Every structure is written in C-alpha cells, then in structure tokens.
Structure 1
C-alpha cells in the first residue's frame, strides 16, 4: 500500500452502501478533490451502488474486510505508509477504529470525526452486545480526536451530552449537496407508470426500510388520506422491514395499485421532481438530506418534528409542514393540506435548498481539517 502520492486527506467510511451518509460523504470527497487536493477514500469494503460515483482523481483504498472492526490493522498500516495531512472518519463505529489506529500509529495526521445521527437514540435502539459496547466506548474515545463535527445542531448538542463533552466541543457543519447535479438528474425520465401525466398524485418517501424511518406510521397516514381522496404512495429504498410494511398495507386495505415499494433506485431525484408531496416520517434523524434534496427538486415537503435536523432545515415550519413523531392523523392532515393547496401558494422550497449548496460545507470542512491553509 506504499503511496506514490502523499494524500492531503483520507476519508474513512464503512462502504459504498446506498445510504444518505455515504451519498453526502462522496459529494464532500468529490468536491474537495475538485479543488485540487489529493484525496484517498478508505473503505472497509468497496461494495455498494455509490462506488461508481467516486471521482476518477480519488484513490480508493479497499481493505476488503467483512466488518469495520477488522479494519484496525489495515488502517494502522495505511497511516504509517501514507501519513495523510488529515483524516475524516464517518459514523460511530468507524470513528472508534480511526481514533484507536491513529493513537497506536503515532502519526501527525489531524483526525476529525463526524457524527451523523442522534447518538442517544441510536444507542437506545441498538440490538446486539457489540453495538452496545460501541456506544459505551464513545465517551472514552471521542476526546481522542482533534475535532468533532456533527451534521446538525440537534446532533451536536445530543452528542455533547451523551459523550460528556464540554458544551461547544462539537462543531456543526451541514452536509454538502451538489445542487446542480441534483437538478440535472431531476430532469431524467421515470419509467414507473404512476408518474405519467393525468395519473393520481404521488406521495413519495425514501430511505432504508428500518424502524427509525417509521414508514408504518406513514402507511397508516396514507390509508387515512386514501379514504378522502385519490392518491398513491411510493417508498424508495431497501431494508429489513419490507415484507412487514407490505403486510401492514394489505391489512389496511391498500392495494398494489395504491402503494408501491420499488426498492433502491440510483436516481431518486427524478421521482422527487414528479411527486406532489415528499414525506419524511422518521422517529429520529441526523440531518435528513432527503428533505434538502426534495426541496432542491421543488417538491413540497411534510416532515415529522423528529430529534435531529428536520426543524432546522424547515426553520420551524416556515418551509414545510412539521408534525409530531408517530402521529398518523396529524401526518395525514398535513399531506391533505399540501395536496389541496395550489402549488403557487406553497413555499418556494428550492430557495431554502440553495443554502445547503456544497461549496459552503467544503469551505467549513477544509477549515476544521486544517487544509484551508493548503488551498
């Protein structure tokens, strides 16, 4: 793994899986590389649909390990051989490995770790003994980083309390979004027949089909919407609860002509642009990037006022409807309000999305990584 170039920045993440954290990390990596920095993207496993989105100038280091915890020795070796000026680590379990490897290697690399979600909620919902151990180690390990970044103010304050860090220790940097790229992809065609002209309005949601996204409440809300007017629900994404959600839809009397779960799609923006309303039903989030992406596509949004960044993005409801977590009745009423309001009377959400343009986030990350001086 001897390097011919000396990397300015190494970014360490688990894989190229199709999640929001991976998508925004690649946006950041590509944006920093576009400014002329030598970037290495280190992954425990180079599997996942976003592998194809890595810029050609970025070197991918694939440890080919089945678990992030197995990346400790390869990461130590990488740091010794390459000694990047800075390293950014993404997600809790990856952060612990990065802190330990840097400490044991003794290199001068500046280490910045990033927390993506409400850690107290994630710790509360963890299933395995290994996950429980990871969250137990956070207060002991996180002070070992040079800087800690969170994707929203809610995540930052929650992490400070959870990890017993002094207030103000964690810096907030909103995720970067390549808005020009999103708008370009939003113009592409969608083959799904429900998005054709003169079809009933489509309510769209996207995300991993797991408990934290609370799609079951959305399906209950949609059944209430459907009792009052014609509409369809499409949920993009894969996950463990897929069959459970389909059973629920059937129990509520919803047919396959009213609700569809097509799985993961590489370009959700084309679907967003052709939807009548985008819904985030999550129990908790970090910074729900899908809200920013939907707003960039010009679609009205409804969101739960969940722990995390949804209220920050929507500025307390100025840019979209906010409803209580787990409240199917309130969610259905908010969706119905949007569907019955003329588009010209709804907030011009693309204006708010502009404030999340990637260059602002890239500037902030270069500063915290200590690379702004090398720009």
Structure 2
C-alpha cells in the first residue's frame, strides 16, 4: 500500500514520535510518505533518529512568516479564518493527485481537520489516531482556558462526516463524540473504531554513569526526571515545587528535558537551585531517561497513551503520574502498579500528594523486589510489531470497505458464498479451502463447486457440494467446448443459488470465476507465485502470463493473496491495481494440530524413529524439488546414521525411488511394499495426521522451487520441529524472517539463520554442487546442535500464534461482512 502518515509537525512529542516509529516499521511492507503541515517545525535530528529514510512532504509557502502573523491577528480577533490553512489545503490536494495514496493516516486534531476539509471530494480513505488533544481542546473550551479552537465542535463534525476509521489509545478519546453537538452524527456514521496501543522498539542504553557525572550527580544520588512538551499542563512547575519541599535524607536531583519559552521562564525563576537541571531539548531522550531513578509526569493535559511513560518503563524505572487517559493501565501488571498514581482535583494536581509519592516511592523500591518484574511486564504491552500488524489489518479492512468517501460499518448479514476449485484432492490448497469452508459456514450459506467428483476429498468440507460433471478433454476443440459449457453452467448456478460472493482457488478456477460473473462480487485468490511457476512456460505460458492472468484476474472485484510478496508480484508483473489486492495468510487450528502432534504413531511406522529422522512433506511434483533433496540427503547420510521421511504422493514417486537407488540409498515404498526397517528413505504417501511424524523428527526440510504460503512449513513449526527452507518465492522468508521483507524477493545465497528458522539458497541448477554442499553442511550442523534445535522449535511455535484461525478469520469476516 502507498500510505501517507500525516502529523501537524515533527517536533518532539508523543504523536510525532509514534508517527515516525510506525512509519519506519510499515515501510518494511508498504510505501510510506510523511506529511508535515510546517516545514519550519520539522526536527530533522528527531526524524533521522527514529526514521532515517523517511520521505517527508511539506507545503512551501511564500511569505510564510508574514502569513502566520496575519493568522495570529485574525485568531486574536476571534475570526475563524486562516490564510495559511488555505495554502496547506491546496498543497494536500496537489500531492494527492500526484501520488494517488491508498490510505491517509492522520495524527492530531489540526491535521485531521485540514485533511478532512481538503479531501472532502476525494475517495481516498482517511484514518485518524486520537492522541488526546481532542479532549484537551474540548476541556479548554468548557473552562475557557488554554488554546481555544474557534467553532471547534463544527470542525469535529466535519471530521466525522469525512473520515473512514478511528484508532483510539484510550476509551477517553471517544468523550468528544458524546457531546450533544456530535453524538447523533457519530452514531449515525458508524465509523469503524479500533483500540490500538502505540508500539515501540526501544533499546535501553548503558551510559548513565557518564551522563550523570556530566551534571555532577553521584552514582548513589537519587534522580527524579521528567520529559515532555514544554506546556504548563504537563505539570512542570508542580514537579519543581514538590521537589523543593521534599526534605529527603539523601542527596536528590531533578532533571527536566524539554524546550519552550515557558520552560525558559521556569529556568530563570528556579535557576538558583543547583540540584534542578534544565537540559532543554535532547535528541535522544532515552539516554537521559536511563539516568533517572524515578520518572515523573504530573500532567493535567488530555493524555491518551503518553510516549514518555513507555520510555520510562523501557529503562526499567518506576513512574509517578496522574491518572489520565490510559496511564494507570499502562503501568499496571496483574493489578500491581509500577510506581505511584496521584489524583487530580478540579483540574489541579495535589502538591502534597505528589510530595508524599516522591518521598515514599524510593523507600518502597528498597523493599519491593518484584517492582522490576512489574515494570518489565508493563513495558512488554507496547510492541511495535503488534502495533504495526494491527494497523496493517485496519488499513486493509478500510480499503475493502471504502465506498463513496466514507464507510458505514454494517451489522453482519448472512451471505451466500460460492467457493470454486478444480477438484478435491490432498494438496495444501484443498486443505486451506476445507478450513475456510468450515469457518465461513458458521455464519453464511456456503457452496463448493468442482469440475467433477473423480477425486474424493480427504478433508472435512462444510457446505453444499456442486459438481459440474465435466469429463477430461480429448483435444483442443473439445476443451474449448467444455470451457464454454462450464462458463454457461457456473453462471446459471450463480443465478439460481443467488450467490453474493464467489471465491475461486487456483488459476483455472480463477479464469472460470471471472468469465462466469453474474451479479455477485468476484474474488480470485493467489496461492502461489505465478511469475516464478516453472510449469508456466513456452507459448502457452507466455499467453497466460502476458494476456490471460493480467486481463482476467484484474477484472475481478478483489485479488486475495496469501503473502505480501505475492501482492507485490501481482502489482509489479501483472499490472494489478493496488487498491484491489489484499493479503490474507493461511490460518491454522493451532491447538488441534498440537494435540494431533502428540498422538501415538502405530506400529510398524513408529519404528522409523528408532534412528534420527529428517522429514519433508508435499505432493511429489517438480515444484517441491525432491530430486535435489535426495542428493542433499545422500551427502548428509554419509556423515550421519539418519533417515529421510517423505509424506505425500504424486506421479514422480517411481522416478524419485529410482534416483535414490542410483545414489546407493535403500527406499521403502510403504503403500506398495509395506515397512522395510533397512531403508534410508521412506515414501509413506499421504497421512491424515502428518503432525505426529513432524513432531518426532529432528528437522523439517522444504526444498521447493516456488511456493505461496507453504502450509507444511507452518504446520511443521506448530508441531515443534525446527525448519530449514529454500529461500524461494514466496512464503518461506515472510514466515521465517518477516522483518527482512522489502519490495521484491530477497533470496539468500548463503545460510541465513533467521529469527524463526533457517533460509538456504534454492537448489536450482546453477552452482548446484555448491548449494548441495551448503545444504548438507547446514543440516549436519543442526543435527549436532540440540540447543539450537530446541531454540528454533520454541521460536517457531511462537511465530505461528500470529496465524491462529481466530485471528486470521476476522480478516475474512470483515471482508465478507461488508460486501
């Protein structure tokens, strides 16, 4: 997706740092631009620290200083008009026409308002994240205090009418929509709203003693610290007053980090005290926060999820703060608080309560040995990875639902859904279709359409099965005749069954689905790399890649890919519209797979595991590259007393057996000849419970030439076996090393010990002997390192939690429920 992340400015502040952090993380799988309303308020040091490669757009306004002075005069005269705002609106419209963004994600009220106004007649969806300033402006108006926004509630109404999604950090963010002026409009709009905590990836520094000494602070002195925007509402002066009146037994210091005219005034006022350190603006506040013993935030500002609280926790320091927004829940773990919460009475912080907390917390720290654990677990709630995934999901949902400039989130209604596949079978696609039919049928009427029933499904399918009874074609003319008949028949079925959504799987079914469109929404799914599919070759392959796939697939309402890499492939090589592609990965019943993996393997197959076993699974097809896997195993076998177990069947079985025997390896064709204990390679065919075999193996190997989202790799990880995979397009890298995915395919040429498994070069014909050597050496190393295998087993299981069926099904539910 091409996403514009907008913020009023990029000076130090929670919303600004969030925008930079999420932008950097989203850039790994999207094309991200940033927008600042002010060129002069971009802190490039801050930007370069958090998002070094950021592409920032800003309006270049001539006579900017003069215009700002005129605007300030108009504001003082209570005239709700801004000359500068008009220039910014014009700039936004211009960059929207130039870049054609898929999503606008705005942060902070003023940015939300100007984007909503500027893009009133554009169809691009706008999402806003509410960081707390909506409540602040509302309270300012009610108390006639602080910065006032003229016609504030009318401006909020304009935002509500235009935006397509709201992300909140705290339930308090929604208070503005409870006001009588907005309540009815907001309820009618039914804007999709998600609670998503800001995410962080903060590394704690280790130079606190050096920084302390630069302020003449001794290692055993007590340091209170505070970081924030330089506005009175943050509680700077109350913190200073409380510090001055504490009367502690030991030497204490107060370190204040932030910059503004207001803070300069405080510095002048309190400059006689050598133990109060006004440091002004610091680019990397974390380095200084790490010098604190206790972090302060006695704020009365309309906070939601203040970044500084998370920064305090990341450095392992307790917090003293007011109970505003989500602060209390942020510093709570298992009903225990990582510090002290102080109350606010009539908009003011109690100085005496703050003094008492500042005096008592150091004493509590000496006695409470669990405090470090509480702080650590409280911080773990704010993972940048979880935050980014939540926003990616939200963006995808909004894109699908975007109609007529704003989205109405509808009450879920039962749909009539047709799933189209060539025929039943035993492959990964058939298994995924089975699982999808089972889940969709809970709330919908599901139909499964196949060419014929010549092959029975080994999986449990839900829904009404419809067979077209299409025979195998005899020649080209017969094939054309059968295709014409199929298109007519499927179109008729769609009409008679009143199908609302038709979803097709695999290439031929995708053609059929598009060509037989009636009045339903047509979704085609991409489950494997079409660009890298080596079976699509010659004149027919050229026709498919250059004509059929681009022209027919792009006529669908939506293309659903199982990986982000496939999404990029469709955009790059098949000219697909970004706005009509969504990525939804395969999903798994993790608990069920884990239960099955623990089941007993019956005699005599359990005897295979009398020796160490490495395992592979999948249909015996050129795609899986088993012939080269056998060559790798031959090298490994010469160094280890080990067996290779292959689960799956296919027309290549006899050839693979012959290849094995030519290398001096004894094979067991179990289905045909039964169990042979003297074998090196066991061809077992398909098994209903492959997970029990996987769980008992030392390693799982995937040598494929191309994939989509390989089910067997995911299921092996759930079963607890460490995995080694070819870095083929697409899927393995996205599963095993998700953070390394950029635009295009990044294939490794050497062993890559990724976070969740090992990626190796594809076993293609070029430099094959070298690649076989790399594979065999890596396998031998893994077989000899039990500790490393156990670590990858654990990490693999953790990774697959993200693909639990309950999580992924929500994406399908949102997709279908809003059609």
Give the TM-score taking structure 2 as reference length: 0.42
Residues 266 and 47 of structure 1: CA distance in aligned 2, closer, same or farther (over 3 Å)? farther
- The equivalences for 1:148-163 within 5 A come to 148-163=559-574
In the TM superposition, what is the alpha-carbon distance from 1:10 to its structure 2 partner?
Answer: 1.2
5+ residue gaps, structure 1, are 1-5
Residue 242 of structure 1 aligns with which residue?
A: 653
Q: Secondary structure at the match of 1:234?
A: strand
Alignment of structure 1 residues 203-218 onto 2, 5 Å: 203-218=614-629
Q: Which residue of 1 aligns with 2:418?
A: 10
Measure, in 2, the Cα distance between the counterparts of 1:152 and 1:9. 23
CA gap of 1:363–1:154, structure 2 versus 1, over 3 A, is same
2:779 aligns with one of 315, 335, 343: 335
| 2:534 counterpart of 1:80 | no
Query: Which one is further off, 227-236 or 356-365?
Result: 356-365
Match of residue 465, structure 2, among 60, 75, 90: 60
Give the equivalent residue in structure 2 for 1:360: 807
Deviations 1:160-209 (A, max 9, x none): 22322244542111012122222232233323646448711111101111
Question: In the alignment, which of 798, 803, 808 is matched to residue 351 of structure 1?
Answer: 798
Q: 3-state SS of the aligned residue for 1:164?
A: coil
SS in 1 for 2:465: strand
Q: Secondary structure at the match of 2:682?
A: strand
Deviation at 1:47, TM superposition (A): 4.1
2:438 — aligned with what? 30
Once the two structures are superposed, the pairs formed by residues 108-147 of structure 1 within 5 Å of their partners are: 109-122=520-533, 124-126=534-536, 133-135=543-545, 136-147=547-558
CA contact (8 A) 2:434 2:459 kept: no
Q: Paired residue for 2:600? A: 189
Match of 1:276?
698
How many residue pairs match? The answer is: 359
Cα distance change of structure 1 residues 182 and 139 upon mapping to structure 2, 3 Å threshold: same
1:172 to 564, 573, 583: 583
What secondary structure sits across from 1:120 in the alignment? coil
Partner of 2:727: 305
Gaps spanning 5+ residues in structure 2: where? 1-413, 473-481, 668-678, 741-753, 764-770
Describe the shift of the 1:21–1:71 C-alpha distance in structure 2 as closer, same or farther (beyond 3 A): same
Larger mean Cα displacement after TM superposition, 16-25 or 258-267? 258-267
Preserved contact between residue 186 and residue 270 of structure 1 (Cα < 8 Å): yes
CA distance in 2, matches of 1:128, 1:47: 29
Give the Cα–Cα distance (whole angstroms) in 2 for the partners of residues 21 and 156 of structure 1. Answer: 18
Query: Could you tell me how far apart the structure 1 residues matched to 2:706 and 2:603 are?
Result: 30
Distance 2:429 2:608 in 1: 33
Higher mean displacement: 290-299 or 128-137:
128-137
Q: Deviations over 1:209-256 (max 9, x none)?
A: 111111111111111111111110011111222122111111111113
